[in-house]
Chains A and B, each alone.
Chain A
Amino acid sequence: MEPETHIRVKNLNVYYGKDHVLRDVSINIPDKRVIVIIGPSGCGKTTLLRSFNRLVDTVDGVRVSGEVMVDEENIFDPHVELTHIRKKMGLLSQTPYPLPMSIYDNVAYGPRLHGIKDKKKLNSVVEHYLKIAGLWEEVKDKLHTPATQVSIGQQQRLCLARGLAVEPEIILADEPTSALDPKSSRHIEESFLRLKKDYTIIVVTHILRQARRLADYVIFLYCGELIEHGPARQVFESPREKMTREYIQGVIS
């Protein structure tokens, strides 16, 4: 049985100038689990992730063909309303980038953009999402200090809270722990496992152990091509493709 899906990718090609970064990728992303994109660096993992909310647009000289259907809407259609697509997805980048404002305002930023002005409502939203991200206890007494003053691990959880506060269906995470210490990384991983019953979480990682810990579903990319995808257990234990097996065994990287 096909699992339910929000995101359907059909013949997606992405070029940066002359570089053909994604080659004819087609895949249905299953809902409400952790999907991990693995593959060597420079293979298009991040580009694929960034196609889901059209952040690839911010790169100069980018060209895209094919379709990414999010809730049956092709987001690369020129008439599509971008803000509403992006709102459906929270983004975690490699290093946390808190906005240049207070902790509170970081979380309230998204809700404010989308029209929540009521103070009480905002307060409860901020508290709610900081709790979900497991940060509330640590910052509740300094909500109005600049967000850059907390530790980098806390910043990443703050970014998670900020992303969740616009009520996305999907969380996109691009090597979200690569700048963090082991303890903070574990915090983030734990949040993902907690959140996956409510969200579809797509994680790019080059750490195979992390992929094994997190993944319910694995996508393996190599040189811009989709080599294999499937339930984590199947991909890790009995990969269909020789290339996947070699990557997992560390023969190629």
Chain B
Amino acid sequence: MNIRVYKDKITARLMGVIAFLSCLILVLIIAGLYYRSRPVLELKPFLELLTSGSWHPLRQEFGFYPFIMGSLWVTGVAIIMAIPLCLLTSIYLSEYAPGYLREWIKPLIDLLAGIPSVIYGVWGVLVIVPLIKDTIAPRVGSFSSGYCVLSGGVVLGIMICPIIIHVSLEVFRAVPRELREASLSLGATRWQTIKQVVLRKARPGIMAAIVLGLSRAFGETMAVLMVVGNVPRAPGSLLDAAYPLPALIANNYGEMLSVPLYDSALMLACFILLLVVLLFNIVARIVLIRIERQM
């Protein structure tokens, strides 16, 4: 056989296998995590592990409730902060800003997504933590070390803006120009058009953008870990410390592994985290693919 043809076939095969392997990794990770977390699952039913608040590895009590609540609190604050900021930004860029400005700002916002998360963390420690400790907490008449849900939420909220802005901007741009024109030609103002036509049409896409932001926030580790305080107790207010799941895993894996079942419990934490993030991602992608097809 001609050597060129032969080479072509070999490389095609090889690349096919590599591509397939990279998909396989995900499956392997999920299977591996499940397998390694089985010991702790055998100890207690899954639901009880999720809802128990007692985390005493030495006594073999692994209640994930504080960590799940920590994750939910921090993610919640982040998303509540980020949604209005991001929507207003992307509405401005899509509907009001002149084209050249949009083309300039878009890559700048994408750049923000590339900032290493540890830098956001340092910024949080240097700016947000003291701000909360010295200014905000005394204002509301309480005490806080500054390492708390609010700091984590603020840092995260800013970190997830680029992705939400990016996706929702694309969703807005996918709304046909003619729809806006139809509304404008009936005598609607731009704001009326945005509220009643553009936002309505873009709603599923915006939801997808928010879910993507959520999944990013839920899984973010470094920046959050640096500012939330890491106390394994479910937070009761914004100024309490929290201990989100990713921080639990990152802080403890590799230490204390001599404690029986500790390793398995952390694997379960990984498993939960991965499933939640995957689920969010899949849902969001499906919605976005649908929107793309409609265009």
Q: Which 10 A-B pairs have the closest CB atoms?
A: A87-B187, A91-B185, A60-B99, A110-B186, A97-B178, A83-B187, A100-B201, A86-B187, A100-B200, A97-B182
17 A-B pairs (CB sep. < 8 Å)? A53-B185, A61-B99, A86-B185, A86-B186, A87-B186, A95-B178, A97-B178, A97-B181, A99-B179, A100-B197, A100-B200, A101-B200, A113-B186, A113-B192, A114-B187, A162-B182, A172-B185
Q: Are A99 and B185 in contact (CB under 8 A)?
A: no
Given A60-B99, A61-B99: A97 in contact with B179 (beta carbons within 8 A): yes
Q: Tell me the nearest residue of chain B to A95, going by C-beta.
A: B178
Q: Which of A31-77 contact B (CB under 8 A)?
A: 53, 55, 58, 60-61
CA A91 to CA B179, docked complex, whole Å: 11
Given A83-B188, A113-B188, A114-B187: A55 in contact with B182 (beta carbons within 8 A): no
Asked whether A176 is an interface residue with its Cβ less than 8 Å from the other chain, the reply is no
Q: Are A109 and B196 in contact (CB under 8 A)?
A: yes
CA A100 to CA B180, docked complex, whole Å: 11
Report the minimal beta-carbon distance from B14 to chain A, rounded to whole angstroms: 46
Asked whether B98 is an interface residue with its Cβ less than 8 Å from the other chain, the reply is yes
Asked whether B251 is an interface residue with its Cβ less than 8 Å from the other chain, the reply is no
Q: Which residues of B contact A242 (CB under 8 A)?
A: none
Report the minimal beta-carbon distance from A248 to chain B, rounded to whole angstroms: 30
Q: Which of A70-113 contact B (CB under 8 A)?
A: 83-84, 86-87, 89-91, 93, 95, 97, 99-101, 109-110, 113
Q: Tell me the nearest residue of chain B to A61, going by C-beta.
A: B99
Interface-central residue, B177, B187, B189, B196, by most chain A CB under 10 Å? B187
Q: Are A58 and B184 in contact (CB under 8 A)?
A: yes
Q: Are B185 and A90 in contact (CB under 8 A)?
A: yes
Majority secondary structure, A binding face = mixed
User: Hey, what's the 0/1 contact readout for B92-131 against A, CB within 8 Å counting as 1?
Assistant: 0000001100000000000000000000000000000000
Asked whether B176 is an interface residue with its Cβ less than 8 Å from the other chain, the reply is yes
Q: Are B182 and A113 in contact (CB under 8 A)?
A: no
Interface-central residue, A53, A55, A95, A97, by most chain B CB under 10 Å? A97
Number of residues of chain B lying within 8 A (CB) of chain A? 21
Q: Are A91 and B201 in contact (CB under 8 A)?
A: no
CA A127 to CA B176, docked complex, whole Å: 28
Listed in ascending order, the chain B residues whose CB lies under 8 Å from chain A are 98-99, 176-189, 192, 196-197, 200-201
Asked whether A14 is an interface residue with its Cβ less than 8 Å from the other chain, the reply is no
Q: Tell me the nearest residue of chain A to B102, going by C-beta.
A: A60
Q: Which residues of B contact A166 (CB under 8 A)?
A: 186-187
Given A87-B187, A163-B185: A58 in contact with B180 (beta carbons within 8 A): yes
CA A38 to CA B200, docked complex, whole Å: 36
CA A97 to CA B201, docked complex, whole Å: 12
Q: Are B186 and A162 in contact (CB under 8 A)?
A: yes
**Which of B176, B180, B186 makes the CB contact (< 8 A) with A109?**
B186
CA A166 to CA B187, docked complex, whole Å: 8
CA A61 to CA B188, docked complex, whole Å: 22
Q: Tell me the nearest residue of chain A to B182, going by C-beta.
A: A97
Report the minimal beta-carbon distance from A177 to chain B, rounded to whole angstroms: 16
Report the minimal beta-carbon distance from A154 to chain B, rounded to whole angstroms: 16
Q: Which residues of A contact B192 (CB under 8 A)?
A: 113
Interface-central residue, B177, B185, B189, B201, by most chain A CB under 10 Å? B185
Given A99-B182, A101-B200: A60 in contact with B187 (beta carbons within 8 A): no
Q: Which residues of B contact A162 (CB under 8 A)?
A: 182, 186
Q: Which residues of A contact B184 (CB under 8 A)?
A: 55, 58, 86
Report the minimal beta-carbon distance from A159 to chain B, rounded to whole angstroms: 7
Q: Tell me the nearest residue of chain A to B185, going by C-beta.
A: A91
Q: Tell me the nearest residue of chain A to B198, going by C-beta.
A: A100
Given A91-B182, A100-B197, A100-B200: A58 in contact with B187 (beta carbons within 8 A): no
Q: Are A163 and B178 in contact (CB under 8 A)?
A: no
User: Hey, what's the 0/1 contact readout for A238-249 against B, CB within 8 Å counting as 1?
Assistant: 000000000000
Report the minimal beta-carbon distance from B11 to chain A, rounded to whole angstroms: 44
Q: Are B99 and A113 in contact (CB under 8 A)?
A: no
CA A38 to CA B99, docked complex, whole Å: 31
Interface-central residue, A58, A99, A162, A163, by most chain B CB under 10 Å? A99
Q: Which residues of B contact A58 (CB under 8 A)?
A: 177, 180-181, 184
Q: Which residues of B contact A61 (CB under 8 A)?
A: 99
Q: Which residues of B contact A55 (CB under 8 A)?
A: 181, 184-185
Q: Which residues of B contact A60 (CB under 8 A)?
A: 98-99
Q: Are B185 and A109 in contact (CB under 8 A)?
A: no
Report the minimal beta-carbon distance from B176 to chain A, rounded to whole angstroms: 6
CA A84 to CA B185, docked complex, whole Å: 10
Report the minimal beta-carbon distance from B87 to chain A, rounded to whole angstroms: 18
Report the minimal beta-carbon distance from A58 to chain B, rounded to whole angstroms: 6
CA A109 to CA B179, docked complex, whole Å: 13
Q: Which residues of A contact B197 (CB under 8 A)?
A: 99-100
CA A160 to CA B183, docked complex, whole Å: 13
Q: Are B187 and A93 in contact (CB under 8 A)?
A: no
Q: Are B187 and A84 in contact (CB under 8 A)?
A: yes
